[in-house]
Amino acid sequence: MSKEVQENQKNQEVIVRFDNVLFEWGINKPILDGVSFTVRRGMKFTLMGQNGAGKSTIFGLISGAYVPESGIINVVKGVSIASALQVIPRDQLDLTVREFFEKCFQNKTSEKIYDIDPRIDDVLEVVNLKGHTKVHDKIIRTFSGGQQARLLLASAIIQDPDLLLLDEPTNNLDKAGIAHLTKFLIDYKKTVLVISHDAEFLNAFTQGVLYLDVYTKKIEQYVGNYFNVVKDITARVEKENMKNAQLQKEIQAKKDQANVFAYKGGRLRLVAKRMREKAEELEEEMVDVRKEDKSIRPFVIPSQPDLIGEILHISSFTTMKNGKIVKHKAKISLNKNHHLLLQGPNGIGKTTLLERLAGGHADGEKVKDGIRIGYYRQDFSTLNFEDTVYQSLSSAMLAGGEKLDEERMRSIAAGFLITGEFIRTKIGDLSEGQKGLVAFARLVLQKPGLLILDEPTNHINFRHLPVIAKALNEYKGAMILVSHVPEFVKQIRIDEILDLEK
């Protein structure tokens, strides 16, 4: 057998197989129900599905972090796997960069990695995070959100795995960071499975889609680039909706006829019974429409009442350049209904500035006394992970100056797809996307006078983004926005731009 034929056979090899896999989070909380799919060596797949559907759980099952209730998960022996998570675990934030990367290899080998420093240098070049003096001894916590996102990517890439699992890898990345990652994935010769809501990014390298339906809890497998697959799924959903609408008309007609005949008595009661049976048969033919196509309801973030005069004044601010703090003078004043866009590359100091404003620790920035601040942090650290969703929303409602009105709170929560058992779940047990929806629901209940948003598109399903953009566009208080997603920013009225780089 020629070397070329052997290579082709190897590339056709199935390296991951799910066969009728069932997985539950606790009793009566099924995530996957009879899921079957395959991943071949060298393929690059997108894993799609609604926030909370179980995409990250599938990564955990592949890597062996979770065990299914039933079914078979087969990963070919010898296949190495590395994951880049959405966020750096809280217990690793105080590690140095060297310790963080050494930890990547601890479960893979008992031997010490002696050439870790040059490996770190090489991988930081790949993720465009070079040029920092003494970077190996720097504490992870001191990096910006965008820089931490690059470190997460680097922690997976440094292992050079046969199967690379990336969970929302473009979150917090600026344009240059996304371009670097895209080129790396196009050139990467091994297998990649990616969870992301960034359509342009996915279309650059995706060869197929694994579509996890949150309602049926099964995977549908598609081959083709991302845009074509999404078009196919959309067309299929429209067809299913049209079929359901037609069936619904027939069902209602049969039920109406059955009611008429039932009242007439005699033999016509038997006809009525047959009509009802026919209606039941038609109901069984109706297709379960995907809940993924449900977006959050349109919403308004009410501003704090009686806002008068200057809400925020910035006379100076600091940035980080080549590892040094640089102070700049400014003259920025935000009043009611004034929207400021804060720009600049990863690591320049955007999140630091927002933290100082929200915490009242700024030197050259002053928030008017009595102004209620609604702060959406990219890492959700303003949320108490031990609280249930109910407790979190209740505290936001009280902070917004309202008495606790459970009916109103549940109505607002339902608009953000927070229903059923979801509301009694601990914040820490939610997916990152679900945490984002809770954070937006809290802003509605808080009624802030100053709204501070640090990368609010991170982790959020793309179907929700136009609804969120409209709410921000119409917000009547003062607002500061940081976002690296131009399509999102275009939909929001911006009155002033502060570019920290310029």
Rounded to an integer, the average pLDDT of 51-69 is 88
270-284 mean pLDDT: 74
- For the cut 60, the answer to whether the pLDDT of residue 449 exceeds it is yes
What pLDDT shows up at residue 107? 61
Inform me whether the pLDDT recorded for 364 exceeds 80.
no
Region 55-66 average pLDDT: 91
State whether residue 307 is helix, strand or coil.
coil
489-498 burial code (b ≥16 CB/10 A, e <16) = beebeeeeeb
Average pLDDT (400-415) is: 90
Q: Is the pLDDT of residue 112 over 80?
A: no
pLDDT at 386 over 50: yes
**Is 268's pLDDT higher than 90?**
no
Average pLDDT over residues 15-30: 85
Q: In this model, does residue 298 exceed pLDDT 70?
A: yes
| Nearest partner of 17 among 68, 61, 75, judged by Cα | 75
**Mean predicted confidence (pLDDT) in 23-38:** 84
Contact present, 150 and 158 (Cβ < 8 Å): no
pLDDT at residue 205 is higher than 50: yes
Q: Is 390 exposed, middle or buried (0-12, 13-18, 19+ CB in 10 A)?
A: middle
- Residue 127: pLDDT band by 50, 70, 90 thresholds? confident
Superfamily designation of domain 3-225: P-loop containing nucleotide triphosphate hydrolases (3.40.50.300)
CATH class of 312-499: alpha beta
Tens-place pLDDT, residues 159-183: 889 999 998 888 777 788 888 889 9
Starting at the edge strand that comes first in sequence, how are the strands of the sheet with 219-223 ordered?
Answer: 81-84, 163-167, 191-195, 44-48, 208-212, 219-223
Specify the pLDDT at position 436.
92
pLDDT for res 79: 93
Domain ranges of the chain: 3-225, 231-291, 312-499
Distance from C-alpha of 194 to C-alpha of 432, rounded to nearest angstrom: 15
Segment among 252-266, 383-397, 426-440 with least mean pLDDT = 252-266
pLDDT above 50 for 2: no
14 touches 73 (CB < 8 A)? no
Structure confidence at residue 291 (pLDDT)? 47
